Amino acid sequence: MAVGIFDSGLGGLTVLNAAQQRLPDVDFLYYGDSAHAPYGVRDAEDVFQLTRQAVETMWAHGCDLVILACNTASAAALRRMQEGGLPPGKRVLGVFVPLIEALTEREWGDNSPPREVEVKHVALFATPATVASRAFQRELAFRAIGVDVEAQSCGGVVDAIEEGDEILAEALVRSHVDALKRKMPEPQAAILGCTHYPLMEDIFQKALGPNVTVYSQGDLVAESLAHYLERHPDMMGRGPGGFLTSGDATRVSDRATQFLRREITFSAA
């Protein structure tokens, strides 16, 4: 009985890995839209259409619950899909929720007015499309006041990670952190707003310094998913687990195996 996890490429494997460790008895179906990756440089309408098609593919494979383990998809498509109406018995969730829960120290269902929180200066590292959407700032403003968010568009990082070029990815991360710190010299917290970025978490932390709390999505999303399934056990899905891709299954399998450092075998969607 599978829960669907969707990403534009391989970044969502960081969420999948954490979810499998947290929920070992749950089957997961992962779908990477590698034929159209990366999403972070596409416009919002394009991202919405690609995300909608991918989610429908996962529904067709028996996933009643689909997690958009892609910040760009969550930013550009999630609210629009939910407001447009979902088929009966189907749910789509994003990855902003657990981050904001952790940052503001309040439950998502807490609908009290926005309030002051301890963290006042937040650095957001994300793809160009996620930064342009301002979705994170909008959701945060519903729950907290007095928080200064400085967003840094991290062009090139996803491509370098997808290509397995760790040296280039590290250099780009350091460059983007330097650019952020020129705008916000002393952030208290940093949000890694792309599911690819946890693979570079140590580099982000070193570049930011030991006094900055870095929030990474994998474990936060996994814990939030565990609580959600406790409340909604009917969302476990019907289909078998596994790995699907819209791209070259052999090439994606090789990259994924390198990505997670364990053998992963994708099939064509």
pLDDT in tens, 64-119: 999 999 999 999 999 999 999 999 999 999 998 888 888 888 775 677 888 999 99
* CA 237 to mean position of chain CA atoms: 21
> Which position among 15, 16, 70, 77 bears the catalytic label?
70
Q: Enter the DSSP assignment of 199.
A: G
Q: Which CATH class is domain 2-94+218-268?
A: alpha beta
Domain spans of the chain, in order of start: 2-94+218-268, 97-216
- pLDDT value, residue 127: 92
> Which position among 194, 203, 222, 225 bears the catalytic label?
194
* Residue 211 labeled ligand binder: no
Of the candidates 260, 202, 269, the one whose C-alpha atom is nearest the C-alpha of residue 19 is 260
Identical fold for domains 2-94+218-268 and 97-216, yes or no, is: yes
* Residue 127 labeled ligand binder: no
Phi and psi torsions of 3, nearest 5°? -100, 135
Annotated catalytic residue 154 = no
What parts of the chain have a pLDDT lower than 50? Answer: none
Beta-carbon count within 10 A of 268 CB: 12
Annotated catalytic residue 194 = yes
**ω before 88 within 30° of 0 (cis)?**
no
Q: Which residue has the tokens 């609580």?
A: 227
* Residue 196 labeled ligand binder: yes
* Residue 8 labeled ligand binder: yes
Q: Domain 97-216 classified CATH 3.40.50.1860? A: yes
Q: Enter the DSSP assignment of 114.
A: P
* Residue 72 labeled ligand binder: yes
* Residue 215 labeled ligand binder: no
| The amino acid at 234 | D
Helix (H) or strand (E) segment spanning residue 107: none
